Amino acid sequence: GEDVEQSLFLSVREGDSSVINCTYTDSSSTYLYWYKQEPGAGLQLLTYIFSNMDMKQDQRLTVLLNKKDKHLSLRIADTQTGDSAIYFCAESSGGGATNKLIFGTGTLLAVQP
Amino acid sequence: GAGVSQSPSNKVTEKGKDVELRCDPISGHTALYWYRQSLGQGLEFLIYFQGNSAPDKSGLPSDRFSAERTGGSVSTLTIQRTQQEDSAVYLCASNNRGSEQYFGPGTRLTVT
């Protein structure tokens, strides 16, 4: 079945890089996503990557995709205290961009000043 | 409106009562999704509406859960005979084909 896994917790110091990892199982996923959830707030789409890409960079964010190993990572450069949140990776089930999202367990990123 | 809205923002109900949760998607979005976020289960897909097609109900956890979408816009998620394990934040999202899903702020349901 579909399963998306992440490590539960990551702690970094302000200014360091953060790397959040994710493994997924649905090889037909067309898009893979990273969402951010701040305390008491809704889900915010950070970035996404199309499955035929290996890497996508967007300002401080770098997404790496290893399709062979079904491994996705999100690197945040120069991590700030405002980056403290829960980060979810998600795959679109069924291979279409409008289909349901299967979310990972979420990684709590704690940024120490 | 400017974004997806949900009501109520918080709902406390007694075990065994029925509840209705409402979602107003972004105007013009053809697809609408319901998800549930709970401590034990994480973020789970519940149901998906796309235009006039039959909804994908594959994520509904039991027959106590149902949802409808009237006129292709507003959606209501109904939970009958609520149980304590139904306590969660219920999230609604909407999009058009090829675009990202925009999430609402959620309804926090507490079953006592």
Span B6-15, pLDDT tens digits: 999 999 999 9
Single-letter amino acid code for the residue at B75 = S
Q: Are A4 and A104 in contact (CB under 8 A)?
A: yes
pLDDT for the residue A17? 97
B96·A48 Cβ contact <8 A:
no
B45·A45 Cβ contact <8 A:
no
Work out the minimum CA distance from A97 to partner chain B, whole angstroms: 5
Q: Looking at residue B60, what DSSP letter applies? A: -
pLDDT for the residue B42? 84
pLDDT for the residue B103? 93
For the stretch B56-102, pLDDT in tens is: 999 999 999 999 998 879 999 999 999 999 999 999 999 987 678 89
pLDDT for the residue B96? 86
Total CB pairs under 8 A between chain A and B:
45
Mean pLDDT of chain B: 93
Tokens of B37: 């976020």
B99·A45 Cβ contact <8 A:
no
pLDDT for the residue A97? 45
Give the integer Cα–Cα distance in Å for B52 and B55: 8
**Any idea which residue has 């999430």 for tokens?**
B103
pLDDT for the residue B1? 52
Nearest CA in chain B to A6: B42
For the stretch B18-33, pLDDT in tens is: 999 999 999 999 999 9
For the stretch A51-104, pLDDT in tens is: 889 999 999 999 999 999 999 999 999 999 999 999 999 988 755 545 789 899
B97·A99 Cβ contact <8 A:
no
For the stretch A28-53, pLDDT in tens is: 777 899 999 998 788 999 999 988 89
A101·B50 Cβ contact <8 A:
no
- Given A43, A98, A106, which is nearest B103 (Cβ)? A43
pLDDT for the residue B44? 93
- Given B31, B48, B103, which is nearest A42 (Cβ)? B103
- Given B31, B43, B100, which is nearest A45 (Cβ)? B100
Give the integer Cα–Cα distance in Å for A25 and A15: 33
Work out the minimum CA distance from A98 to partner chain B, whole angstroms: 5
Give the integer Cα–Cα distance in Å for B100 and B84: 32
pLDDT for the residue A2? 61
Residues of A with CB under 8 A from a CB of B: 33, 41-45, 48, 88, 93, 97-106
Q: Looking at residue A60, what DSSP letter applies? A: T
Work out the minimum CA distance from A33 to partner chain B, whole angstroms: 9
Which of the residues A43, A46, A58 would you substitute to probe the B interface, choosing the one with the greatest number of B C-beta atoms within 10 Å?
A: A43
